[in-house]
Chains A and B, each alone.
Chain A
Amino acid sequence: MGITFRKETFRDDYTFRNSPEHIRRFPFPFNEDSYMYAVNIEPHVVGPKGSVLENLIDVDEHYVSEMQDRALVLAEDPLRCQSLPHMTLAGWDLLELLMEQQALGYPEHFTLERNGDRWRWINRPLGIDDTFTFGDTSTLPYGPMEYITRQSQGDFCILDQRDGNLWMDAGMVTTQADWSLDFDIGMNFFEWHAPVPLAHEKGIFTRALKFLTNIQQGKPARRLNWTMTINPRLDTSPENYHKWGPDRATVTPDNVGQKVHLRVELQSFWRLPRSNAIVFPIRCYLIKMDELVTQPKWARRLHRVIRDLPEELATYKGLTRYRPTLVEWLSKLDDGSPTSPGFGPD
C-alpha cells in the first residue's frame, strides 16, 4: 500500500505528469463560471477521502521528485531559505507540526518517535532516519525549518506576529509564482501585498490581516489561489525569470494542451504554539490542459473564467501574451451547456 512516488522532472525535459487518480483529486479552484477576488477563507479541516484535503498536510505522488527539485534550487541559490535570528523557535514549532502531520497521515512512509526531547524521525521515501534533540539545533544537519521543509511539499512562510501586523521573517520558498522571499524578508503584511491589484481598493487585505492575526491554535484556516504556468516548472521565481519568462511566448494552438498548466496554491494558516507565530504553507499543484480537460465540466468552466477575467488580473497573473490562444483552444471544448455547482468534476 501507500503512494507510488513518480520519478519526474520540473525542468529541462519536463517529465512531470499526473496519474488519472491525481487528475481527479486536483484542487480545481473555481466553483462558478467566473472569478473575482474574495476573502475565500474557510476552516482547514479534513475533507473527503481521495481529495487533497484527506490530510491537513498533503503528500502525493510527486513528493520525492519535488524534494529533489527543491534541493537543486537550494544548491544554486541558498537565499531561497532564510530565517531571521528570532525565528528559530518558530522553526522548531514547524518541524513538530510537519513531522506530526506527515506521520499521522502516512504512517507507512513516515514515523515519529518521541521520548522526551529525544526524537527519532524516519522518512522512508527519502531514506532518512535521524535521531536528534528537540530544541537543540546542533543535533540536526540544518536549522529546524530548513531540515523539515527539505522534506515537505510546498513553500512555507513563517510570519512573526507583533504590533498588530504579520512579518515575513522566515521561509522556504522554491515553488513560488513569481515572488521572492529574499526580496520580501522582513516585510509586513501590507508591504509584501503591495503589488496586488484591485484587492486593496476592496479592503480585502485589512480584513484578511484581522482574520489572520486572530487564527487560533488548533484551528487552522485555508484558501485557494491560482495562476497559470507555461511548462510544469515549480521554480517560477523572479531570480530565474530569464529561464521561464520567455516560455510564455512559445504557446501555439498545437502545444496548449501540453505546455499550459493551471497552477493552484492550497494556502493554509496555522498558529504555532511556542513562538505564537503563524505558518503559511503554500502548496502548489500543477495540471496540464490536456489532463484538466479530461473532466468536461472543468474544461467548460475554465474556458469561461479565462475568457471573462478582468484585464488587470490577467496582467497580474502574467496570462496576457497567450490568453487568446488558450481561450480559442478551450472554446472548442465548451458547448455552452451549464456546469454543475461546486468545485469537483462531474
Chain B
Amino acid sequence: MSTGTTKLDVVVSDVVPVNELVTRFHFRRRDGGLLPTFSGGAHVVVEMRDGDRTRLNPYSLMGSPLDTREYTISIRRDDAGRGGSLFMHRQVKPGLEMVISYPVNLFSLDLRAKKHLMLAGGIGITPFMAQTSQLAGTGGNFELHYTCRTASLGTYADVLQQRYGNRVRLYHDDREERIDLDRLLSSQPLGTHLYVCGPAGMINWVRDRAASLGWPPETVHFEHFAAPQPGAPFDVELAVSGKTIQVGEQQSLLEAMEAAGVDPPYLCRGGVCGQCETNVISYEGKFIHNDHWLSDEDHKSGCKIMPCVSRFEGKSLILER
C-alpha cells in the first residue's frame, strides 16, 4: 500500500519578497477552512504545474504551528537549479490555485530535550522558524545560532532577534564571523539536543564535530533535503511495468517514472525518507548516489537506488518498478 500523503487544495493568498534571493509564499485553503495542524520541522510538497511539466518540491513550513489559517514557506531563488524555485518566483502570484501535500515531519523536535540547540545556515533557517514558535508557546528552552552570508541575506534574522532577543546569535560570513563550534558544543548542559539545517558542508561539519566531542548520535538531528542534481540523460528499463524511459538532463529518475505513469510512493523527494527505495535487477555502468537513506554497503552493492535524487551513467539499468 502506498504511504503517500493526502493532498490539500489551496490558493496562494500572498507573495512577499523578503530579500534579493528569498520570497515568501502564503497558502490558504480554497474552501476557506482551517489547514491541518502541524509540528515544527514539518514540510509540505508543493506541486508546480509548469506547462506540460509537473514539479514536486518539498519546503519547510515556517509559520507558527498554532496558526492554521495559512501555511507559509520561503523559497530561495536558485538560478542554477532545475527550475522549481524560478517557477515559484516568476510564475506564482496571489490568487493562483495550487495543490500541496499534508504536512510531513522528518525533522521533529525531541520533546525530551532539556534544551534545544539549533544551528541554521542560510535558507536552512525555515524549519527553525516554526520550531522556535512552537517552543516559545510552551516555554521551551532553545538557543539558535544562525549563519548567513551578509546581513541583507539574513532571512528573518531581524524577526527572530525581535522575538527572542539574545536567544538568537547571528554570524555573518562577510564580516568573518564564525561559530566557535567546539566551544559551543562543549559548553551545553546535559540533556541538550542539537538540530542542524543548512548546506551539506555545514551539516557534515556539525555532525562530525558533535561525534568527536562525544555527543550521542540520538541527540543530533539534521534536515538534509538534497535537491535532485541535473546530469547526463540516461535510459532505464522498468521491469514490472514493462516500460523503457529516458531520464532527462533536468529531470530526476522519480520524475521520469511519474511522467511515464509509474508512481512509486514518496514523502520527501530529497533522499531522506526512504519511501521510493527501488531494487536494481541488473545494471552495466555506475550509479551516482546522492541520497542520505541507503547505507554505504547498499550503495556499493549496486542492488538499490533512491530515484528521487540519484542518477546513473552507463549502458543499461533495469529496475524493479
Contacts and interface: CB of A to CB of B under 8 A. Distances in A.
A and B associate in one complex:
yes
Interface string B260-281: 0000000100000111000000
Nearest to B273: A214
A171 to B, nearest CB: 16
Given A86-B112, A89-B138, A218 B6 contact: yes
B39 A219 contact: no
Between B102, B104, B111, the greatest number of chain A beta carbons within 10 A of the residue's beta carbon is seen for B111
B108 A273 contact: no
Given A162-B218, A273-B37, A89 B111 contact: yes
Contacts of A101: none
Interface of A: 41-43, 85-87, 89, 93, 96, 135, 160-163, 210-211, 214-219, 273-276
Contacts, number: 70
A214 B103 contact: no
A312 B38 CA distance: 43
Interface in B95-145: 102-105, 108-112, 134, 137-138
A219 B267 contact: no
B23 interface: no
A43 B39 contact: no
Contacts of A42: 1
B102 A218 contact: yes
Given A274-B65, A276-B105, A216 B3 contact: yes
Given A89-B111, A219-B6, A273-B39, 13 more contacts: A89-B138, A93-B37, A162-B108, A210-B274, A214-B3, A215-B3, A216-B102, A217-B5, A217-B36, A218-B36, A274-B39, A276-B42, A276-B105
Given A89-B111, A214-B275, A216-B267, A274 B3 contact: no
Interface of B: 1, 3-6, 36-39, 41-42, 65, 102-105, 108-112, 134, 137-138, 218, 267, 273-275
Contact of B1 (A41, A87, A275): A41
A99 to B, nearest CB: 14
B43 to A, nearest CB: 12
11 contacts: A86-B112, A87-B111, A89-B111, A163-B218, A214-B274, A217-B104, A219-B102, A274-B65, A275-B39, A276-B105, A276-B109
Nearest to A210: B274
A210 B277 CA distance: 13
Contacts of A215: 3
Contacts of A162: 108, 110, 218
Nearest to A219: B6
SS class of chain B's interface: helix, strand, loop or mixed? loop
Contacts of B38: 217, 273-274
Nearest to B34: A114
B3 A276 contact: no
Contacts of A89: 111, 138
Contacts of A160: 111-112
7 closest cross-chain pairs (CB), A and B: A273-B37, A86-B111, A276-B108, A218-B6, A86-B112, A276-B39, A163-B218
Contacts of A217: 5-6, 36, 38, 102-104
A162 B109 CA distance: 9
A85 B111 CA distance: 9
B3 A211 contact: yes
A216 B109 CA distance: 17
B268 to A, nearest CB: 11
Contacts of B110: 86, 162
A162 B218 CA distance: 8
Contacts of B275: 214
A162 B39 CA distance: 14
A210 B267 CA distance: 13
Contacts of A86: 110-112
B106 to A, nearest CB: 9
A64 to B, nearest CB: 31
A218 B39 CA distance: 14
Given A214-B267, A276-B105, A43 B1 contact: yes
A276 B267 CA distance: 15
Between B1, B5, B6, B38, the greatest number of chain A beta carbons within 10 A of the residue's beta carbon is seen for B1
Contacts of B103: 217, 273
A210 B293 CA distance: 13
B104 A216 contact: yes
A2 to B, nearest CB: 27
A275 B137 CA distance: 13
Contacts of B102: 216-219
A218 B5 CA distance: 8
B33 to A, nearest CB: 13
Contact of A216 (B6, B39, B108, B137): B6
Between A42, A85, A86, the greatest number of chain B beta carbons within 10 A of the residue's beta carbon is seen for A86
A89 B39 CA distance: 11
